[in-house]
A and B are shown apart, each in its own frame.
Chain A
């Protein structure tokens, strides 16, 4: 028996959002939520969040164990170092046996560097796996940010969970319009209304694939095929909804298995030429000769190492790929795969 490439790695949830989107409020809430027992929360600055002394169990310069069992840790040099050290401390029994990690993005809150770190640092990837990207969108300013800040669009596009904050401060129709726009931008994400940061942390974890033996339901959920994204809203894009014409979200289905060379060459090509516009790719691919589907995940040019699942969960063995792109139409990607396939035939 060999090791499962996904099992046994601590899931990491990345929390991102624009300045003012309510991250600090959310973090404060998480620090007291009973559902954060045995979670590690990596934040940028403790002072900003402000921890009530009544909640402290044990504290040091950099780590604080809170009364709800959550280990709060501040980033010292960089995230890599922090996560590595955090695991070393866990292994030595110097901190609690945390079983999941929440990471706040830094600076401009671009999640891509954090995702890159998790995808490419081989030491870290022995212990951690990216599980969920949770993006906060402020209901008051979100629409303007989406209009003026390409970064805001990207953050929404890469999210598994879209947390709408300050909905109590915005007009109901503005909230609806924002939701509709986000839905068009990223139909696969689950919407969560997070007034005053009130979110059940369970909704922000256990999103990705936990092992290479997922059942059909989990795979479908992971691919966004179950309509989970419509959980809160459940509505389709209505006429007149403001949308982002540059952002394309589409799913491709391929009936025939790929040769690995064809598939990787096509994806490599689009990533090299248009990496920054490849906001998010995920899917299950039928590669000839593999025992199960190959899991593909990418954010922009950052591709996670591919993983072959143990078996197909159902008779449907078609390759399914979900894309969110900027100015790359569906037809272009379809034709690219066809052309590379033809060249490699």
Chain B
């Protein structure tokens, strides 16, 4: 079948593509529509649902959006960062407490770490404490995982940590926040060889164009297995750690597939009822330069030997690779163990930058099927000329919230799957 004469009726990046996802609302967030990968939903005591969003870059820190009526989202608060050499990027909410990550553009810049906020009155978040992760070799905290109200698991640097390669500054840290005013580190783990003084030799770098660092990204711990941390370690692949003794995390298994692939393991999502791990990459280069960035399915029946058995069907290269900006996998909805989060061990929703947000049916792990997608048209003033969906969150109503990395803001979708 021949293609329609270019440009086809929907081949243009400004054109929306949709299957089984319907747009309920779009909010540009007062002109600050560039969002990172922190999305969490709070159920307030007065019955509202507030979606908290971390911004991709300065000047904004985070925004709270009332999404009680998903067709009529309203910004209730938008906060600023102290200076432009930092970003928040990541946040999580438990009850009325929110953890917000702070990463800096270089080492030795403050503040770098995370804040805890009391958001019981969403319109006026009050800072409870600051956990300092700045240092002479640290860029602070990139991502936080905070789902039980007691512990913040994070990817970040530390004042006392000197990496063997400056790109490897962020590792896995466990911080006890049971006393929210006094967060305290209780454990850490880093890729062997990435800290000066390690017995192990420094790991072999990926080719220069793909060398993004041996550092932690998502550090997920679920109540089903409180003694396990599921860690995407960027160029170091996927790791499962035994954290039964939190002061001494120990590797249970790891899976390294780069090279031949191009690194940047982002998320390791266990599907406990299925004995599966879903592992997502992050695309970090424009125009398909680091293609393919995939979502992988691993058989995890023997947890010391996770075996890759397939990948999610990727969006078509021809349609998206040169459409503008990044093209490929990034964040997944992570089945957060909180009441406001949708949880499914058979349908996985993820964002793919210019290929939009997509839902997959993994009920047959050997033959994953795409079941829905939504690719918004290029937002107004988009610097890359295409949408760049960065993160997604699915709430307990099954509504999909997804955000653009640069300018598009928040998109609220209904799924029909």
* Partner-B contacts on A (CB < 8 A): 1-4, 7-8, 57-63, 65, 76, 82, 85, 88-97, 126, 211
B8:A58 contact, CB within 8 angstroms:
yes
B342:A93 contact, CB within 8 angstroms:
no
| Contact of A94 with B4 at beta-carbon distance under 8 Å, contacts A1-B344, A2-B346, A57-B9 already known | yes
| Contact of A93 with B17 at beta-carbon distance under 8 Å, contacts A1-B347, A8-B371, A8-B416 already known | yes
4 interchain residue pairs of minimum CB distance: A92-B319, A8-B20, A93-B10, A94-B8
A61:B2 contact, CB within 8 angstroms:
yes
Q: How far is the CA of A94 from the CA of B9 in the complex (A)?
A: 6
The chain B residue with its CB closest to the CB of A210 is: B416
The tally of residues in B whose CB lies under 8 Å from a CB in A reads 36
A93:B417 contact, CB within 8 angstroms:
no
Q: Which residues of A contact B10 (CB under 8 A)?
A: 93-97
The answer to whether B369 has its CB under 8 Å from any CB of chain A is yes
Q: How far is the CA of A14 from the CA of B144 in the complex (A)?
A: 53
B 1-27 binary contact with A (CB < 8 Å = 1; else 0):
111110011111001111110000000
Name B124-168 residues within 8 Å CB distance of A: none
B9:A58 contact, CB within 8 angstroms:
yes
Q: Which residues of B contact A90 (CB under 8 A)?
A: 17, 19
B347:A2 contact, CB within 8 angstroms:
yes
Q: How far is the CA of A84 from the CA of B344 in the complex (A)?
A: 28
Q: Which residues of A contact B4 (CB under 8 A)?
A: 58-60, 63, 65, 94-95
Q: How far is the CA of A65 from the CA of B4 in the complex (A)?
A: 9
Main SS class of interface, A: loop
Q: How far is the CA of A90 from the CA of B11 in the complex (A)?
A: 10
The answer to whether B361 has its CB under 8 Å from any CB of chain A is yes
The chain B residue with its CB closest to the CB of A86 is: B1
| Contact of A97 with B344 at beta-carbon distance under 8 Å, contacts A3-B363, A8-B416, A58-B9 already known | no
Q: List 22 A-B contacts (CB under 8 A).
A: A1-B342, A1-B343, A1-B347, A3-B417, A4-B417, A7-B20, A7-B417, A8-B20, A8-B417, A58-B4, A60-B2, A76-B1, A82-B1, A85-B1, A89-B1, A91-B17, A91-B316, A91-B370, A93-B10, A95-B4, A95-B10, A97-B10
Q: Which residues of B contact A76 (CB under 8 A)?
A: 1
The chain B residue with its CB closest to the CB of A1 is: B344
| Contact of A93 with B11 at beta-carbon distance under 8 Å, contacts A8-B416, A126-B369 already known | yes
A3-B363, A60-B2, A62-B1 given; name 17 further pairs at CB < 8 Å. Answer: A1-B398, A2-B346, A3-B346, A4-B416, A7-B416, A8-B19, A58-B4, A60-B3, A82-B1, A85-B1, A91-B17, A91-B316, A93-B319, A94-B319, A96-B10, A97-B10, A211-B416
Q: How far is the CA of A88 from the CA of B375 in the complex (A)?
A: 15
B3:A93 contact, CB within 8 angstroms:
no
| Contact of A2 with B363 at beta-carbon distance under 8 Å, contacts A76-B1, A93-B319 already known | yes
A3:B347 contact, CB within 8 angstroms:
yes
The chain B residue with its CB closest to the CB of A74 is: B1
Nearest-Cβ distance from residue B151 to partner chain A, whole angstroms: 27
| Contact of A3 with B361 at beta-carbon distance under 8 Å, contacts A8-B416, A94-B10 already known | yes
CB < 8 Å neighbour of A92 from B318, B346, B398: B318
Q: Which residues of A contact B1 (CB under 8 A)?
A: 62-63, 76, 82, 85, 89
Name B356-391 residues within 8 Å CB distance of A: 361, 363, 369-373, 375
Q: Which residues of B contact A93 (CB under 8 A)?
A: 8, 10-12, 15, 17, 319, 375
